[in-house]
Amino acid sequence: MSRLIADIRGLSVHFGEHLIVDGIDFSIQENEILALVGESGCGKSTVALSLLRLLPDKGCTVAGKVLLGGRDILTVPENELNDLRGSAVSIIFQDPSTALNPVWSIGSQIVETLRRHRNISAKAARRQAIDLLDLVAIPDPHRRIDDFPHQFSGGMRQRVMIAMAISCNPRLLVADEPTTALDVTTQAQVLELLDKLRRDLSMSILLITHDLSLVADWADRVVVMYGGQICESAPTRSLFSAPFHPYTQCLLASIPPLSGGPTHRTGRLFEGPSAGVVTASAAGCRYAARCDRAEASCLSAKPAIFSVGAGSHLAACPVVKPSVSLAATVI
């Protein structure tokens, strides 16, 4: 059985009155790529930021637990938190053109990360930074290390971000739509790189995306989110071959043949404003309003999550709950 790297328990996030993430549970195993999918505005980035406690203090309340190496990120003292950030857990963002500081060389930004968490000399850190750039396939790293972010293309910048994020061997890398801002070919290269790195460095990746074709190609397991709730969670194969939740079924139905390679682009989720803003007072299943199989009970109570098949296939929909289902389980 593989080891548990991160365990997210009852994570809820309010922005003011709005309940953006509604008590979600999931866990990340050692060395796996876990995809978190859902349409724009469903709360994926909010979850990503919670994992490093990066949400703003003001106007934002976070509840639940984010357990990493036995410690709860949400409650550790500030100095311990900073020891974990960048070292036990790292994050890369959607837009590599704004995520790097424009007035410092990429080398200095990697070196400072290394020196923050490792007790090494500036010289050794610089050598290591060159090795890291080499590892993420930046050509001519000796020369490029002193260049500034604006001197790199979008794909190269994302590689630099990755080099910085993995510099201190984190156990978990959170990748929030890491390829959305990139063109299709670059997208595949970056994902290939991430896949290779997680093998070589035995690291887990939480791959956040709204692009189902990426999920099919790269993820080991998938968590599907809608309106701040988890609808379904399953090993990738199991999810694509036997989706249970009406929302997942609807998503998969919108993708033509699944055999598309990494360049397959049709699996985008439909985007709409309806998924995001949900008031705290709304009870029940968020998807009920759009679901053609919704029953009265769907609107009154938040659906519990059930084990619906072999392995660890779980879904949160009482309507499609198979009669053979096991008792309600916690993931």
Partner 1 sequence: MKFSSLRRGLVMSGRVLLSIPFRALPTLLAAIVVSFLLLRLIPGDAVDVMASQVALSNESDIAKWRHDLGLDRSIGEQLLDYIVNLARLDFGYSHIYNMPVASLIGERLPSTCLLAGTAFVVAIILGILAGVISGYAKGGALDQLTSAVLLLLYSVPAFWTGLLLIEVFAVWLNWLPLGGSQSLGLDLSGAARIGDRLRHLVLPAVTLALFYIAVDARLVRASMLEVQNQDYIRTAIAKGLDRHTIVWKHMLRNALLPLTAVAGNRIGAMLGGAVTIETVFNWPGMGRLAFEAVLKRDFTVLTAILVLSAFFVIAANIIVDLIQVWIDPRIEH
Report the alpha-carbon angle 155-159-163, nearest 5.
Answer: 170
* Minimum separation from the CB atom of position 101 to partner 1 (A): 4
- Taking CB under 8 A as the binding criterion, the range among 113-121, 183-191, 262-270, 297-305 that sits at the site for partner 1 is 113-121
257: Cβ contacts below 8 Å, ≥ 6 apart: none
- Using CB under 8 A as the binding rule, whether residue 86 contacts partner 1 is answered as yes
Residue 103, class by beta-carbon neighbours within 10 Å (0-12 exposed, 13-18 middle, 19+ buried)?
Answer: exposed
Dihedral sign of CA atoms 197, 195, 73, 109 in order: positive
Is residue 4 within the footprint of ligand ADP (CB under 6 A)?
Answer: no
Positions 40 through 69 that interact with Mg ion (CB under 5 A): 45
Stretch that binds ligand ADP, among 39-47, 97-105, 112-120, 148-156 (CB under 6 A): 39-47
Partners of residue 129 on adjacent β-strands: none
Instruction: List own/partner pairs for 97-102 with CB under 8 A and 24 or more apart.
Output: 97/149, 97/154, 97/157, 97/181, 99/157, 99/161, 100/149, 100/157, 100/160, 100/161, 101/149, 102/148, 102/149, 102/150
Instruction: Write each residue from 40 to 69 as x if it is in contact with ligand ADP (CB under 6 A), else as -, in one continuous string.
Output: xxxxxxx-----------------------
Pattern 34-73, partner 1, x by CB under 8 A = ------------------x-x-------------------
Q: Which does 146 bind (CB under 5 to 8 A by kind): partner 1, Mg ion, ligand ADP, none?
A: partner 1
Which element (helix H / strand E) includes 164?
helix 154-166
- Does residue 206 belong to the site contacting ligand ADP (CB under 6 A)? no
189 is a contact residue toward ligand ADP (CB under 6 A): no
Q: How far apart are CA 311 and CA 331, in angstroms?
A: 12
Q: Candidates 276, 282, 284, 331: give the one binding ligand ADP (CB under 6 A).
A: 276
CA distances to 150, 198, 219 from 204, in Å: 30, 6, 11
Q: Is residue 101 within the footprint of partner 1 (CB under 8 A)?
A: yes
Cα separation, 96 vs 294, in Å, equals: 41
Instruction: Report how many residues bind partner 1 under the rule CB under 8 A.
Output: 34
How many residues line the site for ligand ADP (CB under 6 A)? 12
d(Cα 221, Cα 215) in Å, to the nearest integer?
A: 8
How would you class 140 by CB atoms within 10 Å of its CB: exposed for 0-12, middle for 13-18, buried for 19 or more?
exposed
- Residue 83 sits in the site that holds partner 1 (CB under 8 A): yes
Least spacing, CB of residue 157 vs Mg ion, in Å: 18
Q: Which does 255 bind (CB under 5 to 8 A by kind): partner 1, ligand ADP, Mg ion, none?
A: none
Q: How far is the CB of 50 from ligand ADP (least distance, A)?
A: 9
- Residue ranges binding partner 1 (CB under 8 A): 52, 54, 81-87, 90-91, 93, 95, 98-105, 107, 112-113, 116-117, 143, 145-148, 150, 161, 164
**Which parts of this chain interact with Mg ion (CB under 5 A)?**
45
Enumerate binding residues for ligand ADP (CB under 6 A): 15, 20, 38, 40-46, 276-277
